[in-house]
Amino acid sequence: MKDQFCSFYTNSEDITFYMSSRLGIHDGDIILEPSAGEGIFIDEILNAKKQVHIDALDINDDAISVLQKKYDDNPDVDVRKTDTLFDPQLDKYDISQLWLKQTDTLLDEQLDFFNSTGGYYTGVIGNPPYGAWQDYERRDQLKKKYVGQYVKETYSLFLLRCISVLKLNGRLSFIIPDTFLYVNMHTKLRELLLKKTKIEEIIIFPSKFFPGISFGYSNLCIITLERSEMQDAINNSVKIYRGFKKSEEFRQLIANDTLPAYIEQFNLKQSEVLSNPQHRFVFADNQIVSLLRETTVNLGDVADVVTGFYTGNNTKFIKAASNAVKGAKNYEVIDPSMIVDNSSTDGASDLSEAYIPFIKSASDKRYIRSREDWYVRWDSETVSFYKADKKARFQNSEYYFKTGIGIPMVKSSRIKAFLMQNRVFDQSIVGIFPKDKTKLNYILALMNSDIINQIIHIINPTANNSANYIKLIPYIEPSSMLLDEISETVDRIVELSENIDDKTIKQMEDKIDSMITSIYLVSSHKQAK
């Protein structure tokens, strides 16, 4: 169940049982439930028949009403309507206030202070809200209180807040999106987790394990941790599991039963995760991990990686080639007489209405686009409107009509990179423009290779291929002889794609892929030096 605050109430017995078991409940515990909802976790804790005190907080009037009715006669459950992130009572327990107010970086001295003071709770359990839109006034308030943290998505702030009110050796079990493990904006949060908590276990699973819920952009995870001293934290190893097919399998972890073979298991030392770029959790074999750590040149060093253009009102300014184009349901079909040949960022000056080919969607094949599916209005009056309109994004216009490489921002299992020539590209496309134009074919081949496809998914397993993550791809350049061979083969693919059978093209693509795999996995250490 979901409410207006994007609190997803936990209706899975397997999840609540797993989390309460991992929390470890003892007589005398003081436990916080920061987004108590309907009290599912509280009920599970009370079922343990231990002498505990529980603070149950929620911002939702309906949830508070339910909680008060359930626990009105229980003196061990204190129900309070409050905003957990700003609650003044929690401020009294919060050991993080000094560094939150004074700095936007986690300096070692401040981290030492973080662990040298008391906290209050021996345990925190919860399923904080995520996915809720934060209005700009609230964002400003959050920025002032949680300096240097990412405030557009509050689940990470709930995690930070709840760690800050834990006693030393206090435990926390949270269910949250897994994006904090990978994405750039949570780098500081990862640093704190790795330096100031012992992460015991993380289990990653599909959001559909929640009845009636499914996210397209990420999985969910349950993180169990213990607040600790720094040395204990960095020496700790995290157990991570992913690949679950049903929530019942969580109980096998509690029982220490043998897990199904399809569930992947990783054991990562926190000090090693700290040494990864942006302290990112990397789930890969040692060869790939070494490649990511040791390669000194990234794609962003040798190419400009940018996002494309947005009209501000696509159904008004964009037309489809036909009704058969994927996603064309709400778009008008282009009149061919309106299509012009124009490559000016000021638009066609001699026409009242004109359209040019527009790259708006993924390609159906690698290396080239086989057809034009979309057209964008490009007369000078309309282009002037794009430049002035607040909703439109006439961004990175110096790359419009240039020769480069395009990949869709929305990730698929197999990324298909394609050549862009003399085209404007949509904001849903990431454009890659080599600084050395003689490397165009090689980088096009890289972006279509199995090894780079694998690396992209490791760098950021979420649904997005945003430009900032594409920039992080390790770049290794082969000998000039091998570079020429790859470039010549790419030329053949581009020239012959429309005239020869797919089997022959596939053979050439496989040949390139084999060469790039060799470059990256056999020569990576040499190239990184």
Residues of the chain with pLDDT under 70: 1-11, 95-118, 131-133, 211-217, 523-529
pLDDT in tens, 182-234: 988 899 999 999 999 999 999 999 888 876 555 555 789 999 999 999 999 99
Using CA atoms, how far residue 281 sits from 216, 225, 240, 241, 289, in Å, is: 20, 16, 10, 13, 10
The reported pLDDT for the residue numbered 1 is 40
The reported pLDDT for the residue numbered 11 is 61
Distance CA 129, CA 9 (A): 9
Distance CA 331, CA 317 (A): 9
Where do the domains of the chain lie? 13-282, 301-528
| Portion of the chain with pLDDT greater than 70, in percent | 90
Which class for 468: exposed (0-12), middle (13-18), buried (19 or more C-beta within 10 A)?
A: middle
The reported pLDDT for the residue numbered 154 is 82
DSSP run (H or E) holding 436: none
Question: What is the pTM (predicted TM-score) of this model?
Answer: 0.80
What tokens appear for 226 in the block? 């213990």
Residue pair 492/507 in contact (Cβ under 8 Å)? The answer is: no
Pick the CATH number of 13-282 from 3.40.50.150, 3.20.20.70, 3.30.360.10, 3.30.980.10: 3.40.50.150
The reported pLDDT for the residue numbered 117 is 58
